[in-house]
Chain A
Amino acid sequence: MKKNIRWKLLTSLAVFVIFFAVGVYPILAQRYHMPLPAWLAAKQLKLGLDLKGGVHLVLRVQTDDALRIHTTTTSEQLREALKTAGIAVTSISVDAPRSFQVQGVPPEKDAEFVRIADDKTATDYNRNAGAAGTYSFKMKDNVAITMAEQAVTQARETIDRRINELGVAEPNISLYGQSADQILVQLPGVNDVARAKEIIRNTAILELKIVEAGPAGSQEQLLQSYGGKVPDDMEVIQGSASSGDSSFYLMRKASAVTGTDLRNARPTIDENNRPAVGFSLTNEGARKFGKATSENIGRLLAIVLDHRVTSVATIQTKISDEGRITGSFTTDQVNDMSLILRTGALPAGLTYLEERVIGPSLGADSIRSGVTASLVGLLLVVGFMLIYYKLSGVNAVVALIFNLVILLGLMAYIDATMTLPGIAGFVLTMGIGVDSNVLIFERIKEELEAQRGVRQAINAGFSRVFLTLLDTHVASLISAAFLFQFGTGPIRGFAMTLVIGLISNLFTSTFVSKTLFEAVLGHRQSAALSI
């Protein structure tokens, strides 16, 4: 019997020491400059943005963009193939992100058209025949879903790379929400939201295109020799404001080289000593670029960034693997542009859904008041328990502190983040912990009144209340689980604290508290109980 108690005491003590070391010691060590081993520091409890300050952004990836690009590319490939095969159609046009139309297929070439179309599109698109020589192509559902998912993943990775280049400590970039197209970006300690947004959102779709006509002062002027109409396979692109050139250019939709062919990009200067971006191409990109430039010597090459012409140069000679983007840029612009080109283009546009900036002073205020409130609450509860339950109250207080230490330790161990609602969860855990002790003590009192011995009263108190505790804790766990599953950000933090608190409380209030009673009673048979 005595040996049994010793083991229980040792177990309790060991649990306490372990969780104290993980959860509480690092905080104290940092505050009072005590030695802190690296493996403990790595596990330290992390503060959420609301306490630490920083930028919190929720973005939506416009997955339709990615689908439209794929549809456009496919329709252009089909156009090329038809041209090679000598099939003249009236028009090929993209009418929605997921579909395009072909009109005026000559009846005598219908069979050949179908063969070529299936060859180019059948893997991703369903073909439907409409009235006389009209076909519509619609992207298959599973292809669209996969492609949208890929776009979101790729956008997340791109943002991740860009943030890393910025050098933010411990950023969090993750998929967010249930609609599967949202990305959460949390940048602790960052306050310059404008710059963060600029870097993240810049789509930076780079295209190098051969200019067919232009520059011209207006679109009408540009299209004069084309009968005022943009040819199907071409598009009009305007010069960008930053290049100081607002004239219009007509160029092919299909690019010679795009951003995916880039190997590297870095800031440099042009022949006039102005900041410029130098880039190099991959082997495949260099081959394509070499072919395009050698075929078009003497013509204009446009560098198009995000669908605006940033610079135009005459092709003097065959260029293969190196190039330069020039314009009237500042050094900062050049630095950002090369960072963005280097980290890859976003597959689709982004919009902001939510934007929060928590200044460092606001976060510090929140910590201070949260901790003050918790301590005052703790002191009030401890005072009450000691007055109302006298010496047994000490037992309850020990169990309560035990509970909080386990909670802190477990949270640090599983890398949970401490947020403001998390602190509220702490207060709630305190309440539940006290409730368990009150239930047990009240029951012990009742049993004592029924003229039982102290030991029997304690045993009866614990064993009868155990089922009640189990019921209340399981019910709370059920609601906490739903909170965790369906809640977002702060609510999840709260639910997490609650779940851990409930589990640790069940342990402290039934095991630790009872062990303490037994240890104090020792082998005495019927001592009076201070309760």
Chain B
Amino acid sequence: MQIFKTPHFDFLRWRWVAIGLSWLIIIAGIVVIKTKGMPLGVEFSGGTIVIVEFDQQPPDSSVVRNALERSMPGEGQNAVIQRYGPESARQYMIRVPDVGAEAGAGLSEKAEKITAALKAANIGSFKQAGTEIVGPAVGKDLRSKGQWAMGLSLLGILAYIAFRFQFSFAIGAVVATVHDLLVTFAFLAFFRYDLSLNVIAAILTVTGYSTNDTIVIFDRVRENIRSMRRDNMYDVVNRAVNQTLGRTVITAGTALLSAVALFLFGGEVLHGFAFTMIVGIVTGTYSSVFIAAAIAVIWQTWGKKPGKLAASVPTASAPATPKTRKPGRRRAS
């Protein structure tokens, strides 16, 4: 069985369209984040979450809100009140943006107020299934750590690809990865998923995954360069993308199967994680096929007439390969 019987799509022809489409999504994402803000999980923004489990069929969320408003005027209005988990779990998640005093033992003060308010309102017996209280200092710490982790892992990948392939490829891979990050953030903002530690893990997974895709294609480009010395870079890259297309689609498909299973069956906590994976797998595959190689080609042909590019790659991995660089050409990087 085979999905594509020797495909010959001209992927690079669509490079400017693809780059335009990506910009469109990214700019829309930036607009949404600027106007409505990026929804942050409690570990980044700080705040108090209380998860309560009712013994009987729980009341409507407006009833819960009124109960809070009565005991905590002003705060009940602004609290996030959501069903948590499946209907049968009879759980509500209540989130308020602040915590008790950080000094002393007062951190959990808000959480205690919330449960006291629900008890006072007499809206059915419940127990506290969980709480999550994060002071503002932690969020700041985590944000800076997250940025470091992301920045450094990108640099690491850049360095590795530059070492194994060549610099223009590294640029292509990193642009594609940054692209995936931005598009994923945009979709998280569109669909209002909280940016939590789990989601960050998913984003990093997906960037690693997209780099995988990109490397598989670049690897094929490197191999083709040796066998297609007469062809120009445009054809070599197009050929590589086509040769690996079956693999790209199947891999993305199976990963997507796992991610969808996580989304459907993974429970409340993994919801954001799975959503991010799904978006990331799609955008990662798209960027590997349409963006990464295109950027590498554009970088190489910058200031030269298109189509004039000779296939030449100084490979670090196979020093035994005869040098194919024509004399007088400037270094590709």
Contacts and interface: CB of A to CB of B under 8 A. Distances in A.
Interface in A125-150: none
B265 A355 contact: no
Contacts of B53: 359, 361
A226 interface: no
B205 interface: yes
A487 B131 contact: no
Given A361-B53, A376-B265, A430 B258 contact: yes
B2 A362 contact: no
B274 to A, nearest CB: 8
A85 interface: no
A333 to B, nearest CB: 16
B129 A435 contact: no
Q: For chain B, give the interface size range.
A: 35 or more
A201 B104 CA distance: 8
Interface stretch (A93-101, A285-293, A471-479, A512-520): A471-479
Which of B102, B212, B244, B317 has the most chain A CB within a 10 Å cutoff?
B212
Contacts of A198: 105
Contacts of A366: 267, 269
A483 B102 contact: no
Contacts of B2: 445
B157 A475 contact: yes
B161 A494 contact: no
Given A193-B108, A471-B164, A471-B215, A361 B129 contact: yes
A380 B269 CA distance: 22
Interface in B34-72: 51, 53
Nearest to B245: A442
Interface in B120-146: 127-135, 137-138, 141-142, 145-146
B233 interface: no
Contacts of B282: none
Contact of A381 (B85, B220, B258): B258
B208 A384 contact: no
B266 A475 contact: no
B267 A369 contact: yes
A369 to B, nearest CB: 3
Nearest to B6: A449
B53 to A, nearest CB: 7
A467 B211 contact: no
A373 B247 contact: no
A390 B2 CA distance: 12
A378 B254 CA distance: 10
A351 B161 CA distance: 45
A352 B138 CA distance: 10
A526 B85 CA distance: 56
Interface of B: 1-2, 51, 53, 85, 89, 102-105, 107-108, 127-135, 137-138, 141-142, 145-146, 148-149, 152-153, 156-157, 160-161, 164, 197-198, 200-202, 204-205, 207-209, 211-212, 215-216, 219-220, 223, 243-244, 246-247, 250-251, 253-255, 257-259, 261-262, 264-270, 273-274, 317
Interface of A: 50, 58, 60, 177-179, 193-194, 197-198, 201, 351-359, 361-362, 365-366, 368-370, 372-374, 376-378, 380-381, 384-385, 387-390, 420-421, 423-424, 427-428, 430-432, 434-435, 438-439, 442, 445-446, 464, 467-468, 471-472, 474-476, 478-483, 485-491, 494, 498
Top 8 nearest A-B pairs (CB, nearest first) are A369-B267, A377-B261, A377-B258, A486-B149, A479-B153, A482-B153, A373-B266, A373-B265
